[in-house]
Amino acid sequence: MSKKEKMDKCSFCGREKKEVNLLIAGIDGHICDRCADQAHGIIQEEVKAENTFDLDGIKLLKPREIKDFLDQYVIGQDRAKKILSVSVYNHYKRLTQRVDDDETEIEKSNIILVGETGTGKTLLARTIAKMLHVPFTIVDATVLTEAGYVGEDIESLLTRLLQSADYNVEAAERGIVFIDELDKIARKSDNPSITRDVSGEGVQQGLLKLLEGSVVNVPPQGGRKHPEQKLIPVDTKNILFVCGGAFDGIERKIATRLNTKVIGYSAAKDADQIERENLLQYVSPQDLKSFGLIPEIIGRLPVLTYLNPLDKVTLRNILTEPKNSVIKQYKKLFKIDGIELDFEDGAFDYIVDKAIEFKLGARGLRSICENIMNDAMFDAPSEEIESLNITREYAEEQLEKSGIKRLKAS
């Protein structure tokens, strides 16, 4: 075959140049657009096969190793991190469990995290997701309603898990689901109402079968937009559920319960030892029931733990220490423009003081920093400067200019 004939044909399928849309030249051959598309499809299938979850080759991380990883991204909250680490570790062991002669079956222990806004509940979940070798998804309980009403069905939780597992049902059945904002589906009132509580108690009733463990028919693309789709049965028996919520106002329930037990001299001495600034550490299932969770769902979340409120020292560390801290993010943004950004300690102290004043937790740090840094981020890229130093005086001036002080908590 002559060199000219080689140049006019695809080296893979033999089609001539006039039969294809595009013929791409190589060193000693050609490939047409059709063969290129087919090759791309083969590569995608191979990559997908390599990235599937290896259920038999799961690396068993010990609780201390899991907590060490969490420590790199989450400051403080040692109690919650230990409980999460042990629960995830036990979940891994359940996945690798072999049936013994005594037929002892390890049951899963679903978890519920109680903590004020901005204390790190969702961050803990996202950080665990970075290190897991099982499917993991974070879902929001606020959008859930009973079947037949506007909103998402309960089964949509498992749709997200299926998607994170690339629709590998066997892998999804061994995954972990973090249900955020659980407190938003609390029962609105103990008194019966003429209207249905379709996003409260009704959702809790629907969650029972998922938390306990049962075979649920899951719409792979979401339930209501594609009613013709074929449902996929998913067994939730081995799916670990971690729930989180701020439970705003539950401190009053805890305080009421603690005060009712203050009877007699010895009880009065015990009451003096109660830390009034952190009542969440005394949270119990009874308080969750008073808040509006039904007893059945509390029983299916046997591990109850809390997150401490963030004090000044913790907020100061959150600002600078984690791998993805707010200050490190700003420094990287300026570094891209060739500018070295530096903060004085006084600026850090001012930011932390304002975050405590506004009572927004760790999220408040980002809001305050955005208002302080906005003018600098606007002007610096256009100016030929090599470094920028943020002082306390500059931070005060920018925050005063932004008007954010109107957010001051009452």
Written as one letter, the residue type at 60 is L
User: Could you report the per-residue pLDDT of 91-110, keeping only the tens digit for each?
Assistant: 888 877 766 656 677 788 89
Determine, yes or no, domain membership for 56.
no
34 closest CA partner among 44, 43, 24: 24
Q: CATH number, domain at 395?
A: 1.10.8.60
Assess whether 299 and 325 both reside in one domain: no
Contacts (Cβ under 8 Å, ≥6 apart) of 5 = none
- The token duo for 156 is 């949509």
Assess whether 256 and 373 both reside in one domain: no
pLDDT recorded at residue 262: 43
Please identify every stretch of the chain with a pLDDT value under 50, giving residue numbers as ranges: 1, 192, 194, 262-268, 271, 406-410
Assess whether 259 and 387 both reside in one domain: no
Determine, yes or no, domain membership for 382.
yes
pLDDT recorded at residue 327: 94
Assess whether 337 and 269 both reside in one domain: no
Determine, yes or no, domain membership for 57.
no
Alpha helices in 223-325 (DSSP H): 250-260, 264-272, 285-291, 295-299, 312-320
Assess whether 270 and 401 both reside in one domain: no
User: In Å, how far are 110, 143, 155, 158 from 231, measured between CA atoms?
Assistant: 26, 21, 11, 12
CA distance 195 to 172: 36
SS3 of 248-272: CCHHHHHHHHHHHCCCHHHHHHHHH
Among 306, 332, 351, give the residue marking a domain's end. Answer: 306
Contacts (Cβ under 8 Å, ≥6 apart) of 25 = 7
pLDDT recorded at residue 409: 38
Written as one letter, the residue type at 100 is D
pLDDT recorded at residue 52: 56
pLDDT recorded at residue 263: 47
pLDDT recorded at residue 134: 80
Q: CATH number, domain at 129?
A: 3.40.50.300
pLDDT recorded at residue 4: 53
Written as one letter, the residue type at 94 is R
Domain range for 24 = 3-50
Determine, yes or no, domain membership for 58.
no
Assess whether 390 and 244 both reside in one domain: no
Strand partners, 221: none
Q: How far is CA 221 from the centre of its chain?
A: 21
Assess whether 141 and 248 both reside in one domain: yes
- The token duo for 353 is 């003081």
Q: How many CA atoms lie within 13 A of 148 on its CB side?
A: 5
pLDDT recorded at residue 55: 57
In total, how many domains does the chain have? Answer: 3
Among 306, 339, 354, give the residue marking a domain's end. Answer: 306
Determine, yes or no, domain membership for 30.
yes
pLDDT recorded at residue 66: 92
Determine, yes or no, domain membership for 96.
yes
Written as one letter, the residue type at 283 is V
User: Could you report the per-residue pLDDT of 273-282, keeping only the tens digit for each?
Assistant: 677 778 888 9
Determine, yes or no, domain membership for 136.
yes
Among 288, 306, 324, give the residue marking a domain's end. Answer: 306
pLDDT recorded at residue 343: 94
Assess whether 262 and 398 both reside in one domain: no
Do 234 and 173 form a contact (C-beta atoms < 8 A)? yes
CB contact burial 125-145 (16+ within 10 A = b; e otherwise): bebbbeebbbbbbbbbbeebb
Determine, yes or no, domain membership for 14.
yes
User: In Å, how far are 24, 322, 365 from 386, measured between CA atoms?
Assistant: 46, 26, 26
246 closest CA partner among 179, 182, 178: 182
The DSSP code sequence of 86-132 is HHHHHHHHHHT----TT---PPP--EEEE--TTSSHHHHHHHHHHH-
Assess whether 275 and 389 both reside in one domain: no
Assess whether 297 and 333 both reside in one domain: no
Reported pTM: 0.74
Assess whether 98 and 41 both reside in one domain: no
Assess whether 397 and 371 both reside in one domain: yes
Query: For the chain, what percentages of helix, strand and coil (3-state, to nearest 5) are there?
Result: 50, 10, 40
